[in-house]
Amino acid sequence: MIVEIDEKNFRETVSKGLKLIVFSAKWCSYCQKQNEVFKELPDIWVGKIDGDKNQGLVSQFGIMGFPTFILFKDGEVLTKFSGFKNKFELMNILGKFV
């Protein structure tokens, strides 16, 4: 499931539970490919942040490129990684924290 996140609802969204947040941009071809991978994993909750529209969050988390992922647990960062990930790579990374 993909949920749109912005600066207004970010804190509340990541404050409880395990949340995978992806910073992306509409012009980014790797981000478009990543969206297709998310469709193959409908049971994974993904919060999607448009990096062009949410520069405050991009700056706060030192995002240097798209897509960049941050996994949160109860508001705390567990891990941060970037670049296109196929479903097996993504599940391998997430599996270490579940």
- Output the pTM of the full model: 0.94
Domain count within the chain = 1
pLDDT over 90 (residue 98): no
Averaged pLDDT for residues 14-29: 97
Over residues 7-29, mean pLDDT: 97
Which 3 state secondary structure label does DSSP give 25?
A: coil
Close Cβ partners of 19 (under 8 Å, ≥ 6 residues apart) = 13, 45, 47, 71, 72, 73
| Domain span holding position 47 | 2-95
pLDDT band at 8 (very low <50, low <70, confident <90, very high): very high
Are 20 and 48 in contact by the 8 Å Cβ rule? The answer is no
CATH code for the domain in which residue 26 is found: 3.40.30.10
pLDDT tens sequence across 48-91: 999 999 999 999 999 999 999 999 999 999 999 999 999 999 99
Average pLDDT along the chain: 96
